Amino acid sequence: MIDDLLRQRFKAPVDRTGAWLAGQGVSALGMTVAGFTVGVAGCVAMAFEAYWLALILLVMNRLADLFDGAVARATSVTDFGGFVDIVADFLIYSGFVLGFAIGRPEEALPAAVLIYTFLGTGGSFLASAIIAAKRDIRREPPSRKSFFYKAALAEGVETTIYLALICLLPDYFAILSYGFAAISWVSVLGHVLWARQFR
């Protein structure tokens, strides 16, 4: 929900930074892989209950995710780049939750509920993109994404806020996780209602 608003507000400076990085020889795929590596380290930090370190690594991961797209727009947007980017995102999202549950096994149930929810949001998100590709539906206004996706209540920014909150407030993990799961299921419903028009 917040993603489009922030994208429109900060697109120009982000794109300028992406163009500068591209000029320094940074590749979009290389940045995605580097960001994923940092994100995995954040998941490990969660498992060791090093929450402040996990938060720092999460911020670094999200910055890499922000600028890999900008580098791609400054060079070339590819289907493979989009594929790697979205797979990396979902692995990091669920990895932080899994890492938390490893560190605190007593929180396994809310972690399992949220990872199950991520399957719902991720599956409906990608299924929407498949329908859009089959019907040549483009995102408006054009964002030069590698594929269309349906805007939803819980997207990247909201997920990042949730992950940051469980780092800052680990004792409230269950409440935060159940609350975010509820918001995410609203997103799944939104994707289903959008797809329903193509019966």
45 half-sphere exposure, CB direction, 13 A CA radius: 20
Q: What is the pLDDT of residue 138?
A: 63
Q: What is the pLDDT of residue 110?
A: 97
Q: What is the pLDDT of residue 146?
A: 44
> Which two three-digit tokens encode residue 105?
């096994």
Q: What CATH number should be reported for the domain holding residue 16?
A: 1.20.120.1760
Report DSSP letters for 150-184, one per residue. ---SS-HHHHHHHHHHHHH-GGGHHHHHHHHHHHH
- Residue 91 sits in which domain range? 2-196
- How many distinct structural domains can be found in the chain? 1
pLDDT tens over the chain, length 199 residues? 555 565 666 677 888 888 999 899 899 999 999 999 999 999 999 999 999 999 999 999 999 998 998 899 888 888 898 899 999 999 999 999 999 999 999 999 999 999 999 999 888 888 887 887 787 776 544 444 544 445 556 678 899 999 999 999 999 999 999 999 999 998 888 888 888 888 7
